[in-house]
Chains A and B, each alone.
Chain A
Amino acid sequence: MSIEDEQEIRERLGLLGTVEVSPPPYLTAVSRGKSVRLRRRAFVAAGVAAAVVLGVLVPRLAWHVGQAGPVTPRYDVTVHQPGPGSPPGQVAWGTINGKRWQIRVVAQQGLSNGCTIIGQDLECVPGGIGASPRQVNFTSAMSGDTQFQLAAVGTDVTRVAVTLGNGAELWLRPTILDGERWVAFAAPTRLAVSRAVSFGGVRELGYAIPYNGASGAQFVDWLHPGQRGAARAAYRIGSGTLGGASWSSWAYAGPWGVCVAGVGGAGWCAPTTAAIRPSGVVTSYVTCSPGTQGVWFAAVAQSAVATVRFSLSDGGSLRVRAVGIAGGDKAYAFAVANGVRLVSWTALDAAGKQVGTGPGWKCG
């Protein structure tokens, strides 16, 4: 008997279903899975520790990550639009040093938004991501050495030019899926993204200079053509020791807005600190990160606030200095050991006069 057609090979391959298989080694797989997870966490922890050390010893060096970046000619990045036969929902595909990636927008049952990374493939359920006619609204994800960038673009936007730190320029044209317009690209995490410019036909609509942090580029604020962005500056907004390990948090201001890094494993970006602080609120936290030793908080405060005193559940108190950053508002970061709760906060001005008070915060 020989194989004459596809149906025949299907029938012959049915023999694979007759292979007798031993019962699944569930406990072994779980044990190996836990080991894999531990190794990944150790790798991430080592990366965070290295970042903290770099941030403490050579803050200016860390700061330079936000700059346009040195020439890194070893990265060869390409991006293409989907073609005939492309998988459904594909926004873009390309290669990084010959290794193929793709970014898709998909609908997943039971998931309203979020992204899933499988190998070099990013699948996103966009949820409420949208864009006004002239807007480019990026969201990012990182897997290992690769950063994935997906953006909803408005109806006026016909292309987006992205310049990478090695001088390479990627031209992104919108892919229309179910009436929504998308652009996407992927790049090595270690390769800074210098800028993105949006065009409507031949007319420039706006540009953005992203913050390049440990998890890749963050497009926060878009500027009008010719508009000068804020000057770059770095501020140490908190430092200390927790569980015997020292830590420090930094705020980086620049044309992207403000980004805070080193808050445990968390970070945060906004066009301005005031943009995230509810109107009239003296101080509020913007991100927090629970760890094995304790919980880190980063917060913003009105410009009048000089220090914030926290009453703790163990009877003690914590006094934190608010650091003025670009734009007039202030920011600060602190950590509390596990098991200790923030009972209340009291904000004080430079003269020690109470500016405001409120209940303590809980992470998550």
Chain B
Amino acid sequence: MDAAEDAEFSDFMHGRWAQVVRLGYGLTGDLQIAEDLAQTAFARAYASWPRVRRAADPDAYVRKIVVNANLNRFRKRRVIEHLTGTVPEVAQPGDPAGRHEDRAALMAALLRLPYGQRAVVVLRYWLDMTEAEVAAVMGCSVGNVKSQASRALAKLRNSAALMDGGAR
């Protein structure tokens, strides 16, 4: 890659890094794993940058890698998710909105969803992607996205974690 492409990639990565890490966090509930996933995604994007930069939506490319890399993490290493009521995050002093407790409750509820439903929720409702865009990232049909979203919302409505932890 030449200097101009390097500079372009640098701008891309610095501009998207935080959002991609937060996407990983939404999928895993673990900030360290989220940063690993984001780093993997940007490394692969760099390896194919001349092609990625020409794509209609380079963001979709990176998001797809994060979603799939996390899925592969499960397949390859037989990672078992431990479902807990809390996430390893400690409330910090000076947090007037009780943000950390709310976030912990949110993550506990998300982590109780099957991975596909969780990914649909985060992509559809946090990143505000259309159903078609979510389907493209996840490699499934729009109908599948709709049904996963519907099931996920139904579970979240009855989530004890959100009711308890999220009460303000």
Contacts and interface: CB of A to CB of B under 8 A. Distances in A.
A12 to B, nearest CB: 5
Interface in A1-47: 1-4, 6, 9-10, 12-19, 21-26, 28-30, 32-37, 40
Interface residues of B, number: 60
Contacts of B47: 33-34, 36-37, 40
A87 B135 contact: yes
B13 to A, nearest CB: 5
B142 A85 contact: yes
Contact of B22 (A17, A36, A87): A17
A2 B157 contact: yes
Given A24-B14, A118-B61, A108 B56 contact: yes
B126 A10 contact: yes
A89 to B, nearest CB: 9
B4 to A, nearest CB: 14
Interface string B70-112: 0000000000000000000000000000010011001000000
Contact of A19 (B31, B46, B140): B31
Interface in A105-130: 106, 108, 110-111, 114, 116-121, 123
Interface string B124-144: 011010011001100111110
B122 interface: yes
B37 to A, nearest CB: 12
A121 B64 CA distance: 12
A10 B127 CA distance: 9
A93 to B, nearest CB: 9
A72 interface: no
A100 B126 contact: no
B55 to A, nearest CB: 5
Given A3-B156, A29-B43, A33-B45, A16 B22 contact: yes
A33 B44 contact: yes
B18 A21 contact: yes
A116 B163 contact: no
Contacts of B166: 1, 12
Contacts of A120: 139
Interface residues of A, number: 48
A86 interface: yes
A37 B49 CA distance: 10
B44 A36 contact: yes
A29 B141 contact: no
Contacts of B39: 25, 28-29, 32
A88 interface: yes
Given A1-B162, A19-B22, A34-B47, A86 B142 contact: yes
Interface in B22-38: 22-23, 25-26, 31, 35
Interface string A264-279: 0000000000000000
B156 A116 contact: no
Contacts of A35: 43
Nearest to B149: A6
Contacts of A1: 162-163, 166-168
Interface in A256-312: none
A2 B159 contact: yes
A9 B153 contact: yes
A13 B43 contact: no
B66 interface: no
A94 B16 CA distance: 32
A355 to B, nearest CB: 42
B55 A118 contact: yes
Contact of A9 (B18, B121, B158, B167): B121
* In the A-B complex, the 6 residue pairs with the closest CB atoms: A33-B46, A32-B43, A24-B17, A36-B47, A85-B142, A13-B126
Given A16-B25, A110-B54, 14 more contacts: A15-B106, A18-B103, A21-B17, A21-B22, A29-B13, A34-B47, A36-B47, A85-B132, A87-B142, A88-B132, A100-B139, A100-B140, A106-B56, A119-B68
16 contacts: A1-B162, A9-B125, A13-B121, A16-B26, A21-B17, A25-B35, A35-B43, A36-B44, A85-B143, A87-B132, A108-B54, A111-B54, A116-B54, A117-B51, A118-B64, A121-B136
